Every structure is written in C-alpha cells, then in structure tokens.
C-alpha cells in the first residue's frame, strides 16, 4: 500500500524576524513595541523549538505538507526551513504570499518538493476585509504524481474584540471560503480533492463554520450529489467533548481545524481519508495542570525560550484511492 500523505497545520504564534529587520512603517508602528529586544538569539531559539515540533510529526519524518500562520514574511520562513534541514529534517520549499494584515502576519505552506509540486501561477490569495484588510485565505494547487490536491490555508479574524462582537467578521470569512470552494469546483470539477486548514478563531459548531463556510459533521450530506451547496466535511468533531483542544483560553477551544471536500469524503478525487484528524505534539508542548500548549511568547515580558506556540498543530492522513 502506498505511503499515506501527511498534511498538517500549525499556528506558530508570532514568527517575526528580528527587531532590526526592514518593515513597512505602518507595520513597524503596530509591532515595534512587541519586538523590542527580539534579536537573533531569540529568533534562533524560536526556530529551534518550531523545528523540534515539526520534525516530530508523521512518526518523526515531518509532514509532507504543512500549513502555517502567524508568520511575518517569506525570509523568516526560509530561515525556518533552513533550520529544519540543518536539524536533520526534510528539505522543505515555501509557498507564500504577502498579506495586508495590520500586523503583517501571513498564511503559508511548507511542502516537500520531492512529494508535491506547485508554482506561483497555482497560488491565490484573498484578504478578509473589515474596514481594512485583515488576515487571509491562501490557496495552493499541488500536483502529486498524477494526482491533484488543492490546499486552502486560513487565518480568520480574532476574538480580541470579544467573541460575539467580532463574529460577523468570521462569518464574512466563512462566506468567502464557501465561495472559493464553489469556484474551485467550477474550475476543477465536482470531485476535486480539497483540504482546508487553518486557525478559524471559532469552534466547529459556530455559525461562521456551519452556516457560512458550510463545513459540517455529516458525511452523507457532504457526499450527496443532490446538494446545491458545496459542503465540506469538518474532521474535528470527533475531538469535541474529549477534554482536549488546540488552544486554551478559559477552557479548551478547537480553533485549529481541518476540512475536506466531497471528492475526498467519497474517494472520487483519487484521495481518501486514512484515519481521523489528530492533535499533534502534546507530549512535547504541553505544560501546566490543564496540559495547555507551552507558548514561546513575543512581547518582552512574555518570552520563554523553552516554549513553542500557544496552539497545538493538527494533522490528517490521506491515502491514494
């Protein structure tokens, strides 16, 4: 049987270049105070910790494709992939596009070039707008041998202003994602394989996910060809109510999620699920009585070089049908 394809996602928590790196003035004005003293030694420690977690996934081989968010730019991602390789891990390539987020944080994919191929012409992005551009959806079309796979990375507007006060912005993001999925099907066929990953800043049962992104916990409904809507199958539901999550704030939250298209749910895309989604690296990253992820921090009074991120990674295996 062919080796399964390991796809993962991780919010790596504020992976910024050093304080002295050149930035746009508007971004420097927003993040400058957070980055005071953020030097090469701290960045190297952060990269070392991220590398440790990434290399631990997929039974120590690292993911075949890894979506990431909260990264400042491509240069710092290139430093990350260089660190992974120097630590004995895979040699990853970077798929990235700059966003207009006020803090300058982006969504990107790392991928093993021996497994998957793509090009700049196969990358597309959209900014979710709420008076100004914030966060993004980032689509990468991959070719893996004779098969295609579309990956869509997400980082939806945060709950900082309050969960319900900010919810309309995530509903807008969900509506945007649903439109994208519809367009991908129109361009690439009803059975194309699509994997949607991201930090959605909402739970699988929130309206932005179920009513706007059309991501459900109903494989029969997702698989039906009678649907007028292009539903996604949200793979995180089995983890709900198990006392675990991907992020801890006043209790466990499952903000980081993986969803797949009908073509994967049915296997008609040439890809099928090879197991349930899982939360990664808890044995490495967990800290405290609740087992919450051990964060590295970015602000001067938060930094802990033994930390990693405030989110756990998530992953899923796909098998060729």
Which residue from 199, 193, 237 is spatially nearest to 215, judged by alpha carbons?
Answer: 237
Angle at 54 between CA 51 and CA 60, to 5 degrees: 110
- Strand partners for 314: 9, 279
pLDDT at position 134:
56
- State the virtual CA torsion across 275, 279, 280, 286 in degrees, nearest 10: -150
pLDDT at position 133:
47
Concatenated DSSP letters for 64-103? SEEEEEEE--HHHHHHHHHHHHHTT---EEEEE-----TT
- Helix, strand, or coil (residue 233): strand
pLDDT at position 135:
66
Phi-psi region of 270 (alpha: psi -120 to 50; beta: other; left: phi over 0): left
d(CA 219, CA 262) in angstroms, rounded, equals 8
Scanning 224-280, the segments in alpha helix (DSSP H) are 262-266
Instruction: Supply 293's token pair.
Output: 């992820």
110 and 94 Cβ atoms separated by less than 8 Å: yes
Phi-psi region of 58 (alpha: psi -120 to 50; beta: other; left: phi over 0): left
Per residue, what are the HEC states of 133-159?
EEEEEEEEEEEECCEEEEEEEEECCCC
Q: Which pTM does this prediction carry?
A: 0.95
pLDDT at position 225:
81
Give residue-wise pLDDT tens across range 11-67.
999 999 999 998 888 888 889 999 999 999 999 999 999 999 999 999 999 999 999
Q: Find how far residue 110's CA is from the centre of its chain.
A: 11
Write down the domain spans for the chain: 5-320
pLDDT at position 226:
82
CATH of domain 5-320: 3.60.10.10
- The residues of the chain scoring below 50 in pLDDT are 133
């Amino acid at each position: 049987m062919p080796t399964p394809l390991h796809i993962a996602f991780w919010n790596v928590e504020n992976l910024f270049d050093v304080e002295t790196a050149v930035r746009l003035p508007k971004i420097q004005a927003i993040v400058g105070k957070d980055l005071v003293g953020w030097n090469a030694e701290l960045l190297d420690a952060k990269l070392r910790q991220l590398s440790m977690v990434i290399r631990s996934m997929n039974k120590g081989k690292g993911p075949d494709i890894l979506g990431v968010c909260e990264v400042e730019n491509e240069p710092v991602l290139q430093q990350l992939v260089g660190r992974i390789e120097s630590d004995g891990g895979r040699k990853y390539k970077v798929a990235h596009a700059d966003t207009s987020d006020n803090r300058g944080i982006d969504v990107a994919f790392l991928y093993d070039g021996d497994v998957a191929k793509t090009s700049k012409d196969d990358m597309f992005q959209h900014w979710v707008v709420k008076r100004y551009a914030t966060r993004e959806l980032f689509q990468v079309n991959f070719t893996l041998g004779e098969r295609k796979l579309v990956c869509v990375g997400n980082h939806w507007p945060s709950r900082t202003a309050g969960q319900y006060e900010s919810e309309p912005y995530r509903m807008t993001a969900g509506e945007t994602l649903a439109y994208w999925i519809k367009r991908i099907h129109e361009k690439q066929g009803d059975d194309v394989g699509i994997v949607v990953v991201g930090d959605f800043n909402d739970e699988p049962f929130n309206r932005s996910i179920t009513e706007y992104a059309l991501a459900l916990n109903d494989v029969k409904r997702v698989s039906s060809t009678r649907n007028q809507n292009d539903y996604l199958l949200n793979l995180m539901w089995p983890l709900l109510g198990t006392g675990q999550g991907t992020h801890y704030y006043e209790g466990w939250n499952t903000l980081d999620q993986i969803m797949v298209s009908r073509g994967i749910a049915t296997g008609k895309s040439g890809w099928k699920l090879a197991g349930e989604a899982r939360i990664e690296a808890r044995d490495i990253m967990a800290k405290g009585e609740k087992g919450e992820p051990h964060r590295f921090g970015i602000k001067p009074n938060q930094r802990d070089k033994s930390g990693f991120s405030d989110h756990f990674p998530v992953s899923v295996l796909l098998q060729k049908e």
